Chain A
Amino acid sequence: MPVSLASSRVIFEALKKCDVRLVSALPETWLVHLIRMADDDPEMILVRLAKEEEGVGISAGAHFAGVKSAMLMQNHGFLASINGIVSFAHLYKIPLLMLISYRGSFGERDPWQTQGGNVTEALLRAMGIPYSFLDGIENVEKRIRQAQTLAESSLQPVALLLTRDLMWDE
């Protein structure tokens, strides 16, 4: 499987450096290595979800408890989480660090992913969610740290879009 193991490792180590101790996730192809790394790490609590919106509540609970968390999901999982983000995270000022695999963008071969790719950034903007990209291995650690810093200081959800350039070894 050409999902980049090296990039996944760099992302996971960056999360650990940011003191992330709980990760919620719903499997998707690009995230398989990351989820496995979280599962194998005794310092990390991995919560495998039935649906991504649960992750908003779980991250809120972790935040109340003083535990830093991250959400791993596909952009379609972000779409499935929108009510939770608006009527919990935004309403109650809950910091969320959302790592979203950006399917359906340039280079996408799976027809079923393409519609979600069209609307992802427009929805992030409409919701007022600050976002940036993880698109090169050299930027990963800094961007994740910056995203978490902003989420914690502004007490709001912040998104990082995991791009094909980073996640897929063509």
Chain B
Amino acid sequence: MLRLDCLRAVYPELENCLVVTIMGATAAELHSLGHRPNFFYLQHAMGLASSTGLGLALSLPNQKIVVLDGDGSLLMNLGSLSTMARYRPQNLVHIVFDNESLLSVGGFPTATSTGTDLEGIARAAGIPMVLTVRTVEDFKSTVKNALDGEQLATIVAKVEATGPSGYVTDISLLENRFQFRRYIQSLKNR
């Protein structure tokens, strides 16, 4: 399963969500499908995409938030699972693309390649809905169910360790950040 195919499969559903991605390949691939003002690419600070999603979810309880996380990033901030589970916002869908690799920084294998089970960790942390998916069809239906549902979900998507040739997008970090915030403020004024 390719992450890009997963992203393509749920791209229409992301239109009405606020989306926070991790750095590198995930950001570049989502961007390659077409940037939208509701997409924020956290191009550094590994581990904090899920925390950013939690801050958004608690601040905007009527808005669906999607975090596109990765195994390397999540492993840097496993405590975030326990904090998310503690407050379990119903409007947060946490997707973890697990390619068992730190692909964007040289492809070194992460601990999920030697048996660390992110689904098990998320469930034991107390996340109410946790699933692992291995096909694009399952990914699409699971994400759709989570978006339609009313509980915090962590979806672990096992994907191949491949990505785009480059990671730099044509949107500057600050442009992205100001556009994202302005978009959220415009939602409030509707």
Which residues from chain A sit less than 8 Å from chain B, CB to CB? Answer: 22, 45, 47-51, 53-67, 69, 83-84, 87-88, 91-94
With A50-B83, A60-B52, A66-B184 as contacts: A88 and B42 at CB distance below 8 Å: yes
Q: How far is the CA of A65 from the CA of B51 in the complex (A)?
A: 14
Give B54 Cβ to nearest chain A Cβ, in Å: 6
Residue among A45, A47, A58, A67 with the highest chain B CB neighbour number at 10 A: A58
Specify the main secondary structure of chain B where it touches its partner. helix
B173 contacts partner chain A, Cβ-Cβ < 8 Å: yes
Q: Which residue of A lies closest to B43 (CB)?
A: A91
Instruction: Return 21 A-B CB contacts under 8 Å, by A number.
Output: A48-B83, A50-B79, A50-B82, A53-B51, A54-B51, A54-B54, A57-B45, A57-B51, A57-B52, A58-B51, A58-B58, A60-B52, A61-B54, A62-B58, A63-B181, A64-B52, A64-B55, A64-B180, A66-B59, A66-B185, A87-B44
Residues on A with C-beta less than 8 A from B185 are 66
B130 contacts partner chain A, Cβ-Cβ < 8 Å: no
Residues on A with C-beta less than 8 A from B56 are 61-62, 64-65
With A50-B82, A66-B188 as contacts: A88 and B44 at CB distance below 8 Å: yes
Which residues from chain B sit less than 8 Å from chain A, CB to CB? Answer: 18, 20, 40, 42-45, 47-60, 77, 79-80, 82-83, 86-87, 173-174, 177, 180-181, 184-185, 188
Q: How far is the CA of A64 from the CA of B57 in the complex (A)?
A: 11
Q: Which residue of B lies closest to A56 (CB)?
A: B48
Contact A58 B60 (CB under 8 A): no
Residues on B with C-beta less than 8 A from A59 are 55
With A22-B59, A47-B54, A50-B79 as contacts: A64 and B40 at CB distance below 8 Å: yes
Looking at the complex, which one of B58, B80, B86, B174 makes contact with A92 (CB distance below 8 Å)?
Answer: B174
Q: How far is the CA of A51 from the CA of B51 in the complex (A)?
A: 11
Residues on B with C-beta less than 8 A from A65 are 55-56, 59-60, 184
Give A113 Cβ to nearest chain B Cβ, in Å: 22
